[in-house]
Amino acid sequence: MPTKKFHKFLPVLLAVSAIALGIHAAWLREVPKTEPDQVVEVAPGIYFRHGDLKGHGHCNNGFIFFKEFVLVVDGNFPSGAEACLADIRKLTDKPVRFVFDTHHHGDHSYGNPVWMANGIIPVAHENVCREMARLEPQRWQEAAKSREDVRKLGRDTPMPPIITYPDKLVIDDGAQRVELLHFGTAHTRGDGFAYLPRQRVLFTGDAVVNGPYNYMGDGNSHHWIKVIEALEQLDVEVVAPGHGPLGDRSLLSRQKAFFLALHAEVEKGIAAGKSAEELRDLLKLPEAVEDYAGDFLRDQITKVYAEKIGLEMPFELEELGLVPGPLPARGDPGWTSPQKVVCAGPALAGWAEDLKRVAPGVQIVFPKGSEALLKEVAEADAVIGMASKEIIAAGKKLRWVHSVSAGVDPYIGLGTEESPGIPDLVNSKIILTNGRRCYGPDISDQVFGYILAFSRQLKASIEGKQAAGGPRLSGNGELKHGGFWRAIDPGESRPEWELRGKAMLIVGAGGIGSEVARRAAAFGLEVTAADPDVKAAPPGVNKLIRPADLLRNLAGADVVVIACPLTRSTHRFFGKEHFSAMKKGAIFINVARGPIVEKEALAAALESGKLAGAALDVTEPEPLPDGDPLWKLPNLIITPHNAGQSDGVSRRRMTLARENLRRFAAGEPLLNVVDKQKGY
């Protein structure tokens, strides 16, 4: 057993060891205790102002002194802004140049007009402007009724930030460095953090607080935890929260522990069949996080409950960019509450309880067999899962049809005898929605599987292994046997090629195309995307063009990816002329629909050597018959239309079906509404 003398010197030994190892432990730095309206220096030139929350509703602020100016963290309410200016003038004669709004809430941004009147520019993440425009005008009006400092400004709306940034903005004058960061949705969609890496200080806004101050109405608690985990990766000793006293980095773990405990207790309640109302009365949090459970707890329980059972827009769908369509909703003329929804397809039956939870008062049925399906559809307001001529004919009361697939060409048709679609659906007022964007992540993953199969010669390596040690191509092009490793003549350039710096052209910049572009950017590819409707280039796209400019851009592409919907205008549009315009040695990939591409022209381009390779997850017809000439092409990969199959896809399309059912029952605009005239 260690001696008492050893215990006496243990703290000193631990401290010395931590310093020697370069470990910046929070307990090695004493964090000042703070009280409301108190200003303390936490590091040279960095100050924390403890806001008077109970008395004036003020948030905490930070003052960061640069060589020639001052940056303030958080705009506060107008009276808080005035108090900050008075305190700064006691500390320095340097002018204040910028105020950083950590998010859009009034206690962190309504003081912007005061700062602007003093020549100080508000800065924030770009989502702060969006959320301020979406949520704050009405809240500003309400605040003006109760707060004199807001009312006396004489404004109808809050003042948005002037300078915005997407992910990171650095202000560094050589003496001081501040990194303004964003890690995604937490307390709000626009949460920003001011990180000072040299002093290991972090200003968090309300994404991290010190006490029971977590308002969750504008954020997402699941992703909030991920944001805190990202903050934990920063080298931080002092944490300046949005509310409550100054703290050390343990505030990060305490904040996360509160959310994890809240999630765990709500999940237990849901599993036990408890309602949100019952949980609000019964739920108890562990003692370790009780200091974070205050007046907001009942609302926090409701929020987490709603997130977990789908009573609000799932964050995963929001991240995919799904938007509501312009549809009749509650309050519109002629709108009535739905009474019955039919779920067609065995996969939906596994989600029966989830679907019923989000549409109380609506009869949700899961008929077995076509006869029972048509019988139930006769009195139904909607069908989820699939549709057919018979279903549309039987559903005299149908207002909405949801297809879990992304392609809707079987419903809309291509204007040909082989593909007439369902005219009674197209020409009706029935709303059609689909599963687009649910498949993008997985299909785009497979796109890069195809690309790597050719660029890294993985296809040849796999085939060589299957041949048990050969055949192999040597440098002179002759087949060699007897060894897995390919002999390369000295000085010969390898057939593998690097993706970095190569050019990709994506036809269709929607759900699949945009996900391909994200991954392409990570590989260092220069991406051009052709799309008739997309207004702004998605992340990863360097150049956005219209389909009319496609031909002239094909010659520069090393990889061409077809990711557009099959419509009357795209039916067999990519043919001989397009393959002729492509660069010799390029790779061609189709993950959209087979009939978009002229099969004969593709085969000719592969046989002639114009294309180095091609990959098809879709064909015409489908499945491709035995004996089809495409099977014999050695530089062609064919997969059985499985790029959009995974556990993630199944979860997303069912989550979308549930969310649209919730919206339909509540009278809210549906997601992924199909323009039946355009066909997508």
Catalytic site includes residue 593: yes
Instruction: Report which DSSP code applies to 435.
Output: -
State the helix-helix crossing angle for 511-523 and 440-455, rounded to 10 degrees. 40
Which of 512, 552, 546 has its CA nearest to residue 529?
A: 546
**Burial per residue of 240-270, b for 16 or more beta-carbon CB atoms within 10 angstroms, e otherwise:** bbbbbbbbbbebbebbbbbbebbbebbeebb
Rounded Cα gap, residues 26 and 585, in angstroms: 57
> Kind of pairing, strands 431-433 and 177-181?
unpaired
108, 578, 593, 663: the active-site residue: 593
243 is annotated as an active-site residue: no
Virtual torsion, Cα 370, 352, 314, 205, nearest 10 deg: 180
Token pair listed for 498: 């690097």
Of 82, 179, 312, 622, catalytic: 622
Give me the helices (H) in 543-618, please.
550-554, 576-581, 599-607
Active site residue 622: yes
Q: For residues 181 and 192, what is the distance between their CA atoms, to the nearest angstrom?
A: 6
The residues with which 43 forms a beta bridge, in sequence order, are 46
Adjacent-strand bridge partners of 638: 616
**Long-range contacts formed by 403-406: CB under 8 A, 24+ apart:** 403/432, 403/433, 403/434, 403/435, 404/345, 404/347, 404/434, 404/435, 404/653, 404/654, 404/656, 404/657, 405/434, 405/435, 406/434, 406/435, 406/436, 406/437, 406/438, 406/439, 406/511, 406/512, 406/565, 406/644
Q: Per residue, what are the HEC states of 500-534? A: CCCEEEEECCCHHHHHHHHHHHHHCCEEEEECCCC
Distance CA 529, CA 547 (A): 9
Asked if residue 113 lies in contact with residue 153, where contact means CB atoms within 8 angstroms, the answer is yes
Sequence-distant (6+) residues with CB within 8 A of 215 are 105, 187, 206, 296, 299
CA-based nearest residue to 370, from 351, 342, 399, 348: 342
206 within 8 A of 222, measured Cβ to Cβ: no
Amino acid at residue number 30: E
Which ranges of 92-162 would DSSP assign to H, the alpha helix? 106-109, 112-117, 126-146, 148-151
Distances in whole angstroms, Cα of residue 29 to Cα of each of 15, 26, 66, 239: 11, 6, 23, 12
By annotation, the residues acting in catalysis are 593, 622, 641
